[in-house]
Amino acid sequence: MQTRQSRTLVLASTSPFRKVLLQRLGLAFECCAPDVDEQRIDNEPAEQLVTRLSELKARAVAADWPDALIIGSDQVAVSNEEVLGKPGKHDTAVQQLRRLAGHRVTFLTGLCLLDTRTGESRIDLIPYYVVFRKLTDAQIERYLQAEQPYNCAGSFKSEGLGISLFESMQGDDPNALIGLPLIRLVSWLNDAGVAVP
């Protein structure tokens, strides 16, 4: 019988949301915090930002894992050509949700799978689209008090109460909205010899 997993799998992230998503695949994996400057380069397109950071995160931990498959991921929200990252604090989250209310927002997730045995990486960009409902300040405040999504791009958690902020959603992989596109990742893992399922 073929084993499901002969390679060490590493998630280059401290995100509890990405960890929970990866656990859904039933694979053993390690988590490692990448030491990466996530600042956007001047005039860097959002698409380039998330793909660059997803690979940078994977490569940042590669030295500690000489024979592993390392997963890196990064996400931003884009509304009216403005790039929105993690708000970090309440006031910024209020401002973000006011700007997003009533608008279609593109969430861009960069995904990288780095094979440290060969040094080769696969990188892709997975978009997901959300239309936010029109929101009052009172609704925004109630939501932020309930979930405090200050470490989430766009100031919401779609896997929780954040779903109540949306009018509609569109995309190939709903996991991309949470920050780890599992459909693409499973395809790459299978290509790399990791059997899922």
Angstrom distances, CA of residue 25 to CA of 88, 181, 197: 30, 12, 7
Buried b / exposed e over 14-32, threshold 16 CB at 10 Å, is ebebbeebbeebebebebb
What are the DSSP calls for 25-89, one per residue? TT---EE-------PPPTT--HHHHHHHHHHHHHHHTGGG-TTEEEEEEEEEEEETTEEE----S
Whether the Cβ atoms of residue 192 and residue 115 lie closer than 8 Å to each other: yes
Angstrom distances, CA of residue 35 to CA of 32, 53, 82, 112: 10, 11, 26, 16
Pick the catalytic residue: 64, 74, 91, 124?
A: 74
**What span, in angstroms and rounded, lies between the C-alpha atoms of 17 and 29?**
15
**What span, in angstroms and rounded, lies between the C-alpha atoms of 96 and 85?**
9
Is 37 designated active site?
A: no
**What span, in angstroms and rounded, lies between the C-alpha atoms of 123 and 12?**
14
> Which residue numbers are catalytic?
74
